[in-house]
Amino acid sequence: MNDFDVIIVGAGMVGLTVANLFKNTRLRVALIDKSESSAKASVTGADEPKFDSRVSALSSSSREILTRLGAWTLIEQQRYCDLREMYVWDADGTGSITFSADDLAAPRLGTIIENSLVIEALTQCLESTCDVELLRPCSVDALEEIDDWVLLNTADQGVLRARLVIAADGVNSKIRELKSFEVREWEYNHNAIVSTVKTAKPHQKIALQRFMPTGPLALLPLSSGVNDNCQMYSSIVWSAEPAYAESLMDMTDKDFCRQLSKCYETRFGEVINCGTRQIFPLKQRHSVSYSKDRIVLVGDAAHSIHPLAGQGANLGFLDAEALTNEIKKGLNMGREVFDPVTMDRYQRARKGHNLGMMVLMEGFKRVFAEDILSVRWLRNIGMSRIDELKPIKNYLARRAMGLNT
Ligand SMILES: Cc1cc2nc3c(=O)[nH]c(=O)nc-3n(C[C@H](O)[C@H](O)[C@H](O)COP(=O)(O)OP(=O)(O)OC[C@H]3O[C@@H](n4cnc5c(N)ncnc54)[C@H](O)[C@@H]3O)c2cc1C
């Protein structure tokens, strides 16, 4: 009963995607999560819509994956906001860049969506078949390997055995720790504050990103519903040095809104109110190897990245697809569900790409944190030049959108 071909640990956006991609494979698959249920999306008809403060800017490749899995049709019936434009500017000068979907002849730059809606849709897709067993609450406390099996000791479901364990258990992955994966990590020296804010003027489906010496501030447009597209709400991701972030957390809502209005130069008017603020310490982590024996890492368990370009979940969706594709190819060629060749091919497909994105984000963060006059001058000139050089600008935008360039 407790023997599986594959156990996926973690039913976040990435684990659920992996699980859905295993449908129709005839493998015995279990998806386990330590929490009893996932956070429920709160799409209500109330006067003031309630939004999940965790949102993601999804690229077109992620949206394609969700479409293929049938999750997108469910999301469409709820709410999401297609990004028309993105305005990026430097607080310390005059440099700015505008990315626009029209310039790329694309329907959108990306899609802003609440994480809970993605999770809910992927869970529904999974529950519509009997291919994957969803076990929760089920928290892994220990693991050991005996012969060709991985044994997972869980607090709630006893011992589970699998030929392959896929760790999708997030940034502080227990599986990664239990298996002693070597991890390269460094502090960003930033904490990110997330919240939903209401502004006096509509966002017109425009995202804003302002680079300040203390860290970047982003406003991502939200839609209040398919039939009621009020454009007064945005989700903020405000990354700041820890002391400043703490002081922002300690402020009253009124003071926080006032400070936010000032910092984003009231581009959508004054900030009228804000929802609950949540804070996340940011750390860059990258596992040196993505697999070890019969354990393989995906999503944040393999890599965590600064949210300034909103790429973490997008990279995770691509990991999920690459890993399941390699496993399916291996099975078609007569290999076992776990095979070192398959694991190697997965790592080669994903590690370079993930690392490239992490280096790029680190570069952005450093250049914009620099206070030296010559660097400030150069980055302002650089931004304005890139804004004029459409081929380069469009290349950058297409990369971020997950389109082939
Ligand atoms: C402020 C902020 C803004 C972001 N914005 C964006 C964005 O705009 N676009 C984007 O692409 N990405 C964004 N990201 C990144 C994105 O949120 C993550 O990359 C993504 O959520 C990772 O998903 P995951 O499924 O790998 O991990 P998680 O979402 O962390 O899921 C892990 C799951 O594992 C379960 N679990 C943990 N331990 C155990 C255990 N021992 N046993 C069983 N289950 C366990 C947990 O309950 C959880 O359900 C942002 C991140 C932050 C912090």
- Going along the chain from its start, the domains and CATH numbers come out as 3-401 (3.50.50.60)
Q: Does residue 224 have a pLDDT over 90?
A: no
Q: In a mutational test of the pocket of ligand 1, which residue from 33, 154, 176 has the highest number of ligand atoms less than 8 Å from its CB?
A: 33
pLDDT, residue 364, reads 66
Per-residue pLDDT, averaged over 286-303, amounts to 97
Ligand 1 atom closest to Cα of residue 169: 34
Q: 39-43, 234-238, 351-355, 390-394: which has the highest mean pLDDT?
A: 234-238
Residue 8 Cα, ligand 1 centroid: separation in angstroms?
Answer: 14
- 315-355: pLDDT as tens digits: 999 999 999 999 999 999 999 999 999 999 999 999 999 99
Q: Under 8 Å CB-to-CB from 106, ≥6 apart: which residues?
A: 60, 401, 403
Q: In a mutational test of the pocket of ligand 1, which residue from 16, 56, 350, 399 has the highest number of ligand atoms less than 8 Å from its CB?
A: 56
Lookup result for tokens 């009621």: 228
How far is C-alpha 297 from the chain's CA centre?
16
Q: Where are the beta strands (DSSP E) in 91-171?
A: 96-100, 110-114, 132-135, 140-146, 149-154, 158-167
Residue 370 token pair: 């620099």
Lookup result for tokens 């997330």: 194
Q: Does residue 297 have a pLDDT over 90?
A: yes
Whether residue 245 has its Cβ less than 6 Å from ligand 1: no
For β-strands 183-199 and 271-274, DSSP reports them as antiparallel
Give the separation between CA 272 and CA 198, rounded to whole angstroms.
5
- 237-286: pLDDT as tens digits: 999 999 999 999 999 999 999 999 999 999 999 999 999 999 999 988 99
182-186, 265-269, 358-362, 369-373, range with the lowest pLDDT: 369-373
Residue 11 Cα, ligand 1 centroid: separation in angstroms?
Answer: 9
Band (405; pLDDT cuts 50, 70, 90):
very low
Neighbouring C-beta atoms of residue 5, cutoff 10 Å: 19
Q: Which residues pair with 194 in a beta bridge?
A: 237, 278
pLDDT, residue 381, reads 67
pTM: 0.92
- 19-41: pLDDT as tens digits: 999 998 989 999 999 999 876 66
Q: Whose CA is nearest to atom 52 of ligand 1?
A: 307
Give the separation between CA 291 and CA 22, rounded to whole angstroms.
19
pLDDT, residue 350, reads 97
pLDDT, residue 261, reads 98
- 95-134: pLDDT as tens digits: 788 889 998 888 999 999 999 999 999 999 999 887 899 9
